[in-house]
């Protein structure tokens, strides 16, 4: 049986969190930098241990100098 997880982007997950390797803050990727194939659910197919969400990056992302640094994350929270 497939498992359905309700998810949402939660930028607060990046508050006061640092990258271990650099001690730099983890920044939530700005919403205008990406779109997700699903913004509210993740399906884990029967017999699998993971699901996936496609991320499409926008031109704004590629124009940001931080995009090539260790700076951003898309913070997803499992709601239920």
pLDDT per position as a tens digit, 8-43: 999 999 999 999 999 999 999 999 999 999 999 999
Average pLDDT over residues 66-76: 96
pLDDT at 53: 96
- Given CATH 2.60.40.1740, say whether it is the number of domain 3-78: yes
Average pLDDT over residues 67-79: 96
Percent of the chain with pLDDT over 70: 100
For 50, half-sphere exposure in the C-beta direction (CA atoms, 13 angstrom radius) is 2
pLDDT at 42: 97
For 65, half-sphere exposure in the C-beta direction (CA atoms, 13 angstrom radius) is 0
Domain ranges of the chain: 3-78
In whole angstroms, give the CA distance from residue 37 to residue 39.
7
């Amino acid at each position: 049986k497939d498992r359905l997880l309700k998810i949402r982007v939660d930028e607060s997950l990046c508050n006061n969190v640092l990258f271990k390797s650099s001690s730099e803050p983890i920044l939530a990727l700005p919403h205008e930098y990406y779109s997700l194939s699903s913004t509210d659910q993740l399906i884990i197919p029967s017999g699998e241990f993971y699901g996936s969400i496609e991320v499409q990056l926008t031109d704004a992302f590629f124009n940001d100098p931080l995009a090539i640094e260790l700076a951003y994350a898309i913070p997803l929270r499992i709601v239920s």
